[in-house]
């Protein structure tokens, strides 16, 4: 089992980074949200050295609580800082190029419509950050896509994090549309008590209807409660023609019915092919 | 299909590996064929009973159906799963366990590769993996170097067959060190099956003439211009080499000895 993608993403931008206090606020968020938290270090205002310093400091604040450091766009900095994931925004490297820099690291893609979501899936992204859902001060002038964008992004089968004008009150709508989690800038960083804001978000996230898992190295979501037998059925695979490994343990055929998938589970489905 | 040697003249014992009995001493791989139809016809032409297969991820987009069992009848062929592509003992053990779970048999063709360029085995990793798998009840057939001491250690570890190479996998260079292969055969009790390196029928014949118990090949058949015809040739060559070994060859001499009587010549 690998740690599942967090459900609450605190995303920085040039403004929040310039305001300072990111590391202290990240620590407060981490205490409140633990492994449910990802902090995205995202700014184009800093050079490589300063960005790496910031990423390392944020990573150190998150690590004791299990939160994820996510570095945006800069694969080199993500690798150097030991980030848990790399997030690729508009104009960033493509996923395959990024993987050469950060092999084995989950890579997310920021998408804003159905076409970019499909392109991200085809590129091999592990999850999507889809937005803006609602009007947001971070992107004035960008039309809000509404929860329908989440539905279209989720149709790729990848876990979706909704972003753009998200507040605890609006989180439910994003999840209803099929999001695994939510991301926010102002609603987390601008609050006087970031920990209380994080707790309010988490309280507003109902149990997810879907779970992110990794099957044969590919990220995908399955309905909560899916058994291994159910996964094989979804994939149209004959249980007699496949051997199943669940989090590195082989599952006997008669146990497929009862073994349930949890968020972050790794499943390998193998069979015999021609060989010497 | 007619063979060059008939049962009445050529009396051989069967090949027995890990308690299983096989009539054919030729074992054949199933990789790299032009297509599955050619593979199936080549396997039939080879007369092989044991065919090797690899363990790989199943394709999740259902557009291609590359599982070998859609083409091979597991009731007709004995499926020997390999751990090809594994570079550590841990990986090889993982693949072997997955293969065993498929439920056909307890046999595994154990490979732990140590070098990407030559695909030569990592014998330390091989021994470690062999010991682990034997303990778990696997019948391990170990692909190894043509090195006597490693072969002896593999036998000690409980392998049911030791499979030294003739030359590197897929090289087609033929039997490079007949002395080593003969030495290994002379010292081991378990079957010695030469695995990898033959390129054409004469290589197969020469290899079997060393007295080994069997021969495993893939590329020499699969990459022949006519794989089915080459499979037939390999069957004949394997039988011919085996028959010649059992027949016992004449001694080598540095001088000529006439075949016809020297007496009775005209004055």
| Per-residue pLDDT tens digits for B192-247 | 999 999 999 999 999 999 999 999 999 999 999 999 999 999 999 999 999 999 99
Q: Which of B154, B157, B133 is nearest to B145 (CA)?
A: B154
Per-residue pLDDT band for B78 (boundaries 50, 70, 90) equals very high
- Mean pLDDT score, A141-153: 88
CB-CB neighbors (< 8 A) of B98 in chain A: 243, 245, 250, 268, 270
SS (H, E, C) A214-276: EECCEEEEEECCCEHHHHHHHCCCCHHHCEEEECCEEECHHHCCCCECCCCCEEEEEEEEECC
CA dihedral A80, A84, A88, A92 (to 10 degrees): 10
Q: Which of A121, A134, A126 is nearest to A183 (CA)?
A: A134
Q: Which of B76, B74, B93 is nearest to B138 (CA)?
A: B93
Q: Which residue in chain B is spatially nearest to A243 when comparing CA positions?
A: B102
Phi, psi torsion values for A27, nearest 5 degrees: -65, -40
The two tokens of residue B140 are 């391990």
- Mean pLDDT score, B143-157: 97
When CB atoms are compared, the residue of A235, A248, A275 closest to B54 is: A275
Collapsed DSSP state (helix, strand, coil) of residue A11 = strand
Q: Which residues 47-106 of chain B have a CB within 8 Å of chain A?
A: 52-58, 60, 62, 66-69, 79, 81-82, 84, 94, 97-99, 101-102
Out of B67-76, B123-132, B216-225, least confident range: B67-76
When CB atoms are compared, the residue of B60, B84, B99 closest to A276 is: B84
Residues in chain A whose Cβ is within 8 Å of chain B? 215-218, 235-237, 241-243, 245, 248, 250, 252, 268-276
Mean pLDDT of all residues belonging to chain A: 93
The predicted-structure confidence for A193-236, as pLDDT tens digits, reads as follows 999 999 999 999 887 778 889 999 988 889 889 999 999 999 88
A65 secondary structure, DSSP code: G
Q: Which of A11, A19, A15 is nearest to A42 (CA)?
A: A11
Per-residue pLDDT band for A1 (boundaries 50, 70, 90) equals low
Q: Which of B60, B57, B61, B31 is nearest to B43 (CA)?
A: B31
CB-CB neighbors (< 8 A) of B217 in chain A: 276
- Mean pLDDT score, A106-134: 95
Cα(A135)–Cα(A266) distance, rounded to whole angstroms? 36
Contact B82 A276 (CB under 8 A): yes
**Interface size, chain A vs chain B, as Cβ–Cβ contacts under 8 Å:** 93
- Give the distance between the most distant pair of CA atoms in chain B: 87
pLDDT at B3 > cutoff 70? no
CB-CB neighbors (< 8 A) of B97 in chain A: 250
Contact A275 B60 (CB under 8 A): no
B192 secondary structure, DSSP code: B
- Mean pLDDT score, A116-140: 90
Contact A235 B60 (CB under 8 A): yes
Active-site residue among B109, B117, B135, B139?
Answer: B109
pLDDT at A77 > cutoff 90? yes
Q: Where are the beta strands (DSSP E) in A126-197?
A: 127-130, 160-162, 181-184
Query: What pLDDT, on a 0 to 100 scale, did the predictor assign at position A2?
Result: 65
Task: Show the DSSP H helices in A42-112 as ranges.
Answer: 48-62, 75-81, 95-101
Known catalytic residue at B32: no
Per-residue pLDDT band for A87 (boundaries 50, 70, 90) equals very high
Cα(A187)–Cα(A170) distance, rounded to whole angstroms? 11
Query: What pLDDT, on a 0 to 100 scale, did the predictor assign at position B71?
Result: 87
Contact B101 A243 (CB under 8 A): yes
Q: Crossing angle of helices A194-204/A168-176, nearest 10°?
A: 30
pLDDT at B162 > cutoff 90? yes
């Amino acid at each position: 089992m690998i740690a599942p993608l967090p459900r609450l993403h605190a995303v920085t931008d040039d403004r929040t980074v310039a305001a300072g206090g990111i590391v202290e606020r990240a620590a407060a968020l981490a205490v409140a949200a633990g492994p449910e938290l990802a902090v995205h270090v995202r700014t184009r205002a800093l050079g490589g050295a300063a960005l790496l310093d910031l990423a390392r400091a944020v990573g150190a604040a998150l690590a004791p609580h299990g939160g994820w450091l996510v570095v945006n766009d800069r694969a080199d900095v993500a690798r150097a800082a030991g980030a848990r994931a790399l997030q690729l925004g508009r104009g960033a490297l493509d996923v395959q190029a990024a993987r050469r820099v950060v092999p084995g690291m989950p890579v997310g893609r920021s998408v804003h419509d159905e076409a970019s979501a499909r392109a991200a899936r085809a590129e091999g992204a592990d999850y999507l950050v889809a937005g803006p859902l609602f009007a947001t001060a971070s992107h004035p002038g960008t039309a809000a896509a509404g929860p329908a964008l989440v539905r279209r992004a989720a149709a790729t089968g990848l876990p979706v994090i909704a972003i753009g004008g998200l507040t605890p009150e609006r989180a439910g709508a994003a999840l209803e549309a099929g999001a695994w989690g939510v991301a926010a800038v102002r609603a987390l960083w601008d609050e006087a008590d970031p920990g209380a804001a994080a707790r309010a978000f988490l309280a507003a996230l109902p149990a997810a209807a879907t779970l992110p898992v990794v099957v044969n190295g590919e990220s995908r979501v399955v309905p909560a409660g899916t058994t291994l037998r159910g996964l094989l059925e979804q994939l149209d695979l004959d249980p007699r023609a496949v051997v199943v490994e669940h989090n590195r343990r082989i599952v006997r055929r008669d146990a497929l019915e009862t073994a349930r998938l949890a968020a972050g589970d790794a499943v390998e489905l193998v069979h015999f092919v021609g060989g010497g | 299909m007619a063979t060059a040697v008939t049962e009445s003249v050529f009396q051989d014992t069967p090949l027995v590996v890990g308690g299983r009995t096989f009539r054919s001493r030729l074992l054949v791989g199933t990789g790299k064929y032009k297509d599955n139809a050619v593979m199936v016809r080549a396997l039939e032409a080879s007369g092989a009973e044991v065919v090797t297969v690899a363990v790989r991820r199943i394709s999740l987009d259902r557009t291609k159906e590359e599982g070998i069992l859609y083409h091979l009848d597991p009731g007709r062929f004995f499926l020997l799963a390999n751990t090809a592509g594994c570079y550590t003992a841990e990986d090889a053990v993982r693949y072997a366990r997955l293969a065993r779970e498929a439920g056909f048999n307890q046999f595994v063709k154990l490979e732990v590769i140590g070098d990407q360029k030559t695909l030569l085995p990592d014998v330390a990793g091989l021994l470690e993996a062999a010991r682990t798998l034997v303990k778990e009840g696997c019948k391990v057939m170990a692909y190894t170097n043509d090195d006597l001491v490693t072969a002896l250690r593999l036998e000690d570890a409980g392998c049911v067959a030791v499979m030294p190479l003739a030359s590197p996998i897929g090289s087609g260079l033929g039997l490079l060190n007949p002395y080593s292969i003969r030495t290994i055969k002379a010292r081991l009790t378990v079957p010695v099956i030469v695995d990898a390196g033959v390129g054409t029928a004469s290589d197969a014949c020469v290899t079997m003439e060393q007295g080994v118990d069997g021969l495993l090949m893939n590329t020499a058949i699969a990459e022949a211009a006519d794989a089915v015809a080459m499979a037939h040739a390999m069957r004949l060559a394997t039988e011919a080499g085996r028959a010649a070994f059992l027949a016992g060859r004449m001694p080598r001499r540095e001088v000529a000895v006439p075949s016809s009587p020297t007496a009775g010549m005209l004055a």
